[in-house]
Amino acid sequence: MRPLTREEPGARQGPSRYDLSGDELAALLEGEPSYRLEQVRRALAAGLSPEEITVLPKCLRQRLAETPAMRPAFVVATESPTERGATVKWLLKATSDRARVEVVLMRYPARVTACVSSQAGCAMACSFCATGQMGFCRQLSSGEILEQVVRAARAARDKGWGRLSNVVFMGMGEPMANYGSVVSAVHRAHDDLSLAARAFTISTVGIVPGIRRLAAEPLQVNLAVSLHAANDDLRSSIVPINRRYPLFRLMAACLEYAERTRRRIFFEWALIAGTNDRGEDAAELARLLAPLGGLAHVNLIPLNPTPGFLARGSDRETVRAFRDRLASLGLNATIRDTRGRSVGGACGQLAGGAQLAGGAQLAGAAQLAASPKGA
Asked if 203 is part of the footprint of ligand SAH (rule: CB under 6 A), the reply reads yes
Please give the residues from 340 up to 359 whose contact with ligand SAH meets the rule CB under 6 A: 347
- Residue 147 in the binding site for ligand SAH (CB under 6 A): no
Distance CA 171, CA 175 (A): 10
Q: Is 277 in the site for ligand SAH (CB under 6 A)?
A: no
115 is known as an active-site residue: no
101 touches ligand SAH (CB under 6 A): no
User: Binders of ligand SAH among 246-275, rule CB under 6 A?
Assistant: 268, 270
Which range of residues in 4-12, 23-31, 59-67, 302-310 is near ligand SAH by CB under 6 A? 302-310
Based on the shown chain and the rule CB under 6 A, indicate whether residue 134 belongs to the binding site for ligand SAH.
no
Beta bridge partner(s), residue 90:
79, 103
Respond yes or no: is residue 122 known to be catalytic.
no
Looking at the chain, list the stretches that DSSP marks H as alpha helix, in order from N- to C-terminal side.
22-28, 35-45, 58-66, 130-134, 142-158, 179-193, 208-216, 232-238, 247-261, 279-289, 316-328, 349-355, 366-369
**In angstroms, what is the minimal distance from the CB of 362 to ligand SAH?**
7
- Asked if 223 touches ligand SAH (CB under 6 A), the answer is no
Residue 73 binds ligand SAH (CB under 6 A): no
Least Cα distance to 343 among 132, 105, 40 occurs for: 105
Residue closer to ligand SAH, measured from CB, 141 or 349: 349
Number of residues that bind ligand SAH (CB under 6 A): 20
10: phi then psi, degrees, rounded to nearest 5:
70, 10
Burial classification of residue 16, based on how many CB atoms lie within 10 Å of its CB (0-12 exposed, 13-18 middle, 19 or more buried): buried
Distance CA 146, CA 17 (A): 10
Q: Which amino acid is at 190?
A: H
What is d(CA 160, CA 339) in angstroms, rounded to the nearest whole number?
A: 20
Q: How far is the CB of 290 from ligand SAH (least distance, A)?
A: 21
Residues 171, 92 contacting (CB under 8 angstroms): no
Distances (CA, A) of 176 to 147, 183, 269: 19, 9, 19
CB of residue 33 to ligand SAH, shortest distance in Å: 44
The catalytic position among 51, 102, 115, 317 is: 102
What CA–CA distance (Å, rounded) separates 246 from 267? 15
Options 3-11, 32-40, 316-324, 362-370: segment touching ligand SAH (CB under 6 A): 362-370
Contact (Cβ atoms closer than 8 angstroms) between residue 217 and residue 183: yes
Phi, psi of 64 (to 5 degrees): -65, -40
| 182 is a contact residue toward ligand SAH (CB under 6 A) | no
Nearest-angstrom CA–CA distance, 371 and 229: 21
Binds ligand SAH by CB under 6 A, chosen from 64, 129, 137, 182: 129
Name residues contacting ligand SAH, limited to 104-123 (CB under 6 A): none
Residue 141 or 306: which CB sits closer to ligand SAH?
A: 306
Rounded least distance, CB 112 to ligand SAH, Å: 19
Q: Least separation, in Å, of the C-beta of 10 and ligand SAH?
A: 19
Collapsed DSSP state (helix, strand, coil) of residue 50: helix
Q: Is 364 in the site for ligand SAH (CB under 6 A)?
A: yes
Nearer to ligand SAH, 251 or 270 (CB): 270
* Phi, psi angle pair for 119, to nearest 5°: -145, 160
Residue whose CB is less far from ligand SAH, 144 or 174:
174
Catalytic positions, written as ranges: 102, 347
Which residues of the chain form contacts with ligand SAH (CB under 6 A)? Answer: 124, 126, 128-129, 170, 174, 203-205, 226, 268, 270, 301, 303-304, 306, 347, 364-365, 368
